[in-house]
Structure 1
């Protein structure tokens, strides 16, 4: 079972990443899924999405939870029955879960050239320190997207804009961490963020 990476962020927070190499059947067999999860996975048209969904349940087991310990609120934000905070992500062949005593968010993204084309949709202030011809531009844009996606998952408030309300302080790929802000409805929130790269993917996560 390929638990790919486990990161102790601090004494209350852990990240676990799974590399999805198994078949659907191998992932499905040892799991005890609740009826809602079974209905959801059977409704997925992509086997890649099905395997991503199942790999997240294996990550839950790594934390000592089962599928029955997980539920979602009306905004689609995941929660654990014991009150711990959780955030979930999967992208192609990797999935990730972060669990903490504090609110958290996590995102994994594949590094792809097309992010330059859509950058104007989620980048504003950050253009001031990005150079489009810099060889690290795609990696840094992927970090910015991952951080903003993680912030959105943490806040889980409809109407928030990646471009208008989220801000990522200047960083280099080597830094592995930076600060991000949410400026929304007259309130400012500061977050510690971290990121790492592996096999052409970027994982970013935030902890208040």
Structure 2
């Protein structure tokens, strides 16, 4: 399937989402991969991961980039050679890329009940406004995880903890946006966050 969705939260930022319906062969055939990218994809044990990796390269093409324009730093954070900021995600049958002139992060997650079991590992302040009896409890937890994962990708600093260093301001799912903070080593950083859901998945992304 071609491009699934395009979102422009501001004039400097674009999000593109891909629904992965193609086979591995269909995805890899039109791509020109760098040797290390080809080595990475061939070394993946799961075809689902392979297809996620390749669909991201198709999203790059939608933006006018190639695999050669993308590289990763020592913390595993992706960068573009033209110094635009980029963040990447894929989960099961969806992948997403966000590109901006300022720092950003993105995450897509499948909405699953088991997130409630691990909630204490990434939620602290947010429990003040969450209710386990809320019919949207799982969806809200998934949004909070996605926002914190996006913040982690943006900041890319080893040692940061979702529960202790990231804070998501109360939100309603229908709002599609809220504010999030990073509180780390005595400094506070404020970010705009956006979220949406589709086909049992949640996508969250953060902008400065």
Q: Give the TM-score range, shorter chain.
A: over 0.9
Runs of 4+ in 1 over 6 A off after TM superposition: none
Tell me what 1:92 maps to.
Answer: 92
- C-alpha distance in 2 between matches for 1:124 and 1:207: 22
Matched, 1:150 2:150: yes
- C-alpha distance in 1 between matches for 2:9 and 2:15: 7
Matched, 1:205 2:205: yes
Tell me what 2:173 maps to.
Answer: 173
- Alpha-carbon offset, residue 146 of structure 1: 0.1
- C-alpha distance in 2 between matches for 1:8 and 1:176: 13
1:81-120 matches, cutoff 5 A = 81-120=81-120
Tell me what 2:132 maps to.
Answer: 132
- Alpha-carbon offset, residue 2 of structure 1: 1.9
Note the residue ranges of structure 1 that are not aligned, 5 or more in a row: none
1:178-193 matches, cutoff 5 A = 178-193=178-193
Tell me what 2:194 maps to.
Answer: 194
Tell me what 1:9 maps to.
Answer: 9
SS of the aligned residue for 1:114 comes to: helix
- C-alpha distance in 2 between matches for 1:23 and 1:46: 13
Paired residues, what number? 208
- Alpha-carbon offset, residue 35 of structure 1: 0.2
- C-alpha distance in 2 between matches for 1:124 and 1:81: 38
Tell me what 1:35 maps to.
Answer: 35
- C-alpha distance in 2 between matches for 1:146 and 1:2: 24
